[in-house]
Each structure stands twice: as C-alpha cells, then as structure tokens.
Amino acid sequence: MVDSMKVEFNQPLYTGQEDAHVLSAMHGRCLAGNGTYTRLCQEWFETKFGFNKALMTPSCTHALEMAALLINVVPGDEIIMPSYTFSSTANAFALRGAEIVFVDVRQDTMNMDETLLEEGISEKTKAIIPVHYGGISCEMDVIMNLAEKYGIYVIEDAAQGMMASYKGKALGSIGHMGSYSFHETKNYTSGGEGGLLIINDKSLINRAEIIREKGTNRTQFLKGMVDKYSWCDIGGSFLPSEIQAAYLWGQLEQATVINEGRRHIWSIYAQELSALEKEGRICLPKVPLGCRHNAHIFYIKTVKQYEAVFLMDHLRSNGVSAVYHYVPLHTAPASRGISRFVGQHDHTTSESDRLIRLPIWYGMDEDDVHCVVDLIRRFYESKNAEEILFDSLPAKQ
Ligand SMILES: *Cc1c(COP(=O)(O)O)cnc(C)c1O
C-alpha cells in the first residue's frame, strides 16, 4: 500500500469566499452565536427550502439531540430508525433513555424500508427517524402517512441531504423536524463542524429557541419581547459561533453551482460504470422516481463480500482512497441492551459488507474520476481477478 493517496476520498469544500466573511465576523466583534451571519444563514435556509424555522447548531448531532429534547423523549419510549446509519442518529435518543428499534434497509437505496415500518410501530413508539442515505430520499409519503395514522413524530436525519429533494420538497422540510450536517465530510461545511435543526411543526419553535439558549428566553429578550431573561426550561448550549456561520455563508451563495459540480462527477461514475453493472459484476446506486439527489456519495456494491475486500485493496494499493461505510449499529457493542431489530433482516449487514464508496468532492479532477473507473474495470477484466475470486471460494471437500 502506498503512503499518500493520489486520489483522496474527500476534500472539504472551500470556495475562497469564506475568508472575507470569517474576517468580517471577527472584526465586527460579534463572535458568539445568533449574530448577523447566523441569522443570514438561517433566513437563507428558510427562504430557499421553505422551512418554518431553521436554527444553526454546532453539529447535526446537536440538532438531533435538540429534537429529542423537543419531543420529550423519556425512558420507555421507542424510536424507529435504520441500523445502517451513523451513531449520532441513535445516540440522540439513547441519551434520553429511549429504546432504539431498528428496521431493515432497502437493497436499492440503503434507506429504511418503508414497507417494514409498520411492523416496528408499537404503543410506545414516539418517533421515526428516516436517514436519507447519500442524499437520496426515503419514501417519505409512506412514512408520513404511517406517522399520521399512529400519531408519531418524524424527524428526518438529512445530515447528507442538503440540496436534495423528494417530489419537489427539500429534504428536511417534510417531517416535523429535520437536521443537516456541515461537517467537513459533507457537501457544505461551516469550517469543519456544524449543523442545522429544521423545524416544520410550528408548535415546536418557541421551545426550541429556549432549549438552544441554555434553557433561557434570551431570544425573546433580544427581540424585545421580555425585559429580563431567565431560566425557563431544560436546555443546553446549542449555538454555533459566528465564525462557523460566516464560513458557511461563503458557500451558500454558490450552493447551486457546487451541487451541479458534484452531480457532474457522480454522473461520470454512473455512466462509465454502467457496463459493469449490465454484466452483473457490480451494483450502482439507484435514484427512485421523484427523488433528486445531491451527489453526496457515489458507491458501488460488489456481488460477493470477498470481492469488496480485494477490490478495496486493489484501489488503495493504486493510490485511490476508497472507503467502506457504516458498521450496522445493531451489531455494535453500544447497541446491546438498548435496542432491538424488528422484522426481516435481509439487507442491512449483507449489503453494507459489499458497499465501497468512491472519491467524490466538488472540484475533483475529471481525470481522477476516469482513473478510478479504469482501476475498477481493470480489476474485473484481469485474469488475476478471476483467479482471486475463484481461489477464494471454499475448496471442495
Ligand atoms: C454526518 C452524519 C451525522 C452527524 O453529523 P455531525 O454534524 O458530524 O454531527 C448524523 N447522521 C448522519 C446520517 C450523518 O451522515
């Protein structure tokens, strides 16, 4: 294996506009949260995506934790989510003492299988957390109908979903609440860490502003609605610094160009690798009708698990940083005793074991995309690959 990768997996987004805004925030001596840049960003999100309220947070993890506080998750509550997700999706609710109920994912999108959801619903279910994997939407109409039928909340983990949509609606705008991440590995970043809590259910807005300000009504005070502010509720420090908001602002102005740039890279992969898919060698991501994606992830799935191991090795030894994704949460040590898996379990583990994410970022050199594609083609063309694959099958006794 080579030490330095020729083609990195990700490069944090940097447009060059961030510097001026960060300096301006610094020199304006307005550094704490809820300043000019925070408000600019929040208004941008509300206007562009039709959110009733957008509140910037220090991370998407914080946004999910706020959501759990807002719907009063208490021990004994159950929260339904896919097992194929990041730990934060579960932690936010496990921190409040909830039991995590996992359902299987769909093979085509790696999203929560909406047809298995009802099986997981009990009288203890408080919320469903759809995770829009790779910025490709879950089947939200079905999920929202079930939530309405049983009177439960839907909180979209749209950490990967900014600039993606479902039937014309922005991801994050469909459930009662939603969340975005601006971590440096996501499509847009507020300088390494950052997030957004999206509130569509208006009845949750007032309390959200209190919880975010350490349980005080400081926001109302700043708006001149009360003449002193005091401790009103439980809360935390869920505000990012103005520096983070200023950094993000330098990217929002170019959000569409950036999205199209990523989608272009994604399409080259999809086109160039389609022949291998037709030959039955690999599977590519599927974008269901009505979903518009944001090219957050481009992955391929091999047919057999051991092929993924060899292909990964082949890519990495040729200087391409490809990576696996989630270890399903229900197999992880922290899930023991606080979670259960309901219904069929056909895809979560078997699909994730075969999934390899390829390098993608805004500004990635197209030659590098072709280089990755060529390496994958060569892997499948080479006689060597055939030998590796057949040799690794269990020998006949
Ligand atoms: C990145 C991510 C998170 C966490 O986001 P942070 O901003 O790093 O806290 C949560 N859920 C999913 C699905 C993610 O991809």
- Domain regions of the chain by residue span: 18-252, 255-390
What is the rounded average pLDDT of the residues 14-31? Answer: 94
Domain 18-252 identical in fold to domain 255-390? no
Pocket lining for ligand 1, CB < 6 angstroms: 59-61, 85-86, 88-89, 131, 157, 159-160, 181, 183, 195
Q: pLDDT tens, 261-298?
A: 999 999 999 999 999 999 999 999 999 999 999 999 99
Grouping H, G, I as helix, E, B as strand and the rest as coil, residue 360 is coil
Q: What is the overall mean pLDDT for the chain? A: 95
Report pTM: 0.95
Residue with tokens 């994050």: 172
**Distance of alpha carbon 244 from alpha carbon 38, whole angstroms:** 8
| Ligand 1 probe mutation, 88, 91, 131, most atoms within 8 A of CB | 88
Residue 64 CA, ligand 1 centroid: distance in Å: 9
**Rounded to the nearest 10 degrees, what angle do helices 305-317 and 366-381 cross at?**
130
* Beta bridge partner(s), residue 324: none
Nearest to 188 by CA among 157, 165, 159: 159
Nearest to 38 by CA among 213, 215, 224: 213
**Helix (H) or strand (E) segment spanning residue 36:** helix 36-49
**Distance of alpha carbon 105 from alpha carbon 328, whole angstroms:** 11
Q: pLDDT tens, 37-91?
A: 999 999 999 999 999 999 999 999 999 999 999 999 999 999 999 999 999 999 9
Q: Which CATH class is domain 255-390?
A: alpha beta
Residue 376 CA, ligand 1 centroid: distance in Å: 29
Q: pLDDT tens, 306-349?
A: 999 999 999 999 999 999 999 999 999 999 999 999 999 999 99
Residue 88 CA, ligand 1 centroid: distance in Å: 6
Residue 2 CA, ligand 1 centroid: distance in Å: 29
What is the rounded average pLDDT of the residues 133-151? Answer: 98
CATH number of 18-252: 3.40.640.10
Q: For ligand 1, what atom is nearest to the CA of residue 61?
A: 9
**Distance of alpha carbon 149 from alpha carbon 158, whole angstroms:** 23
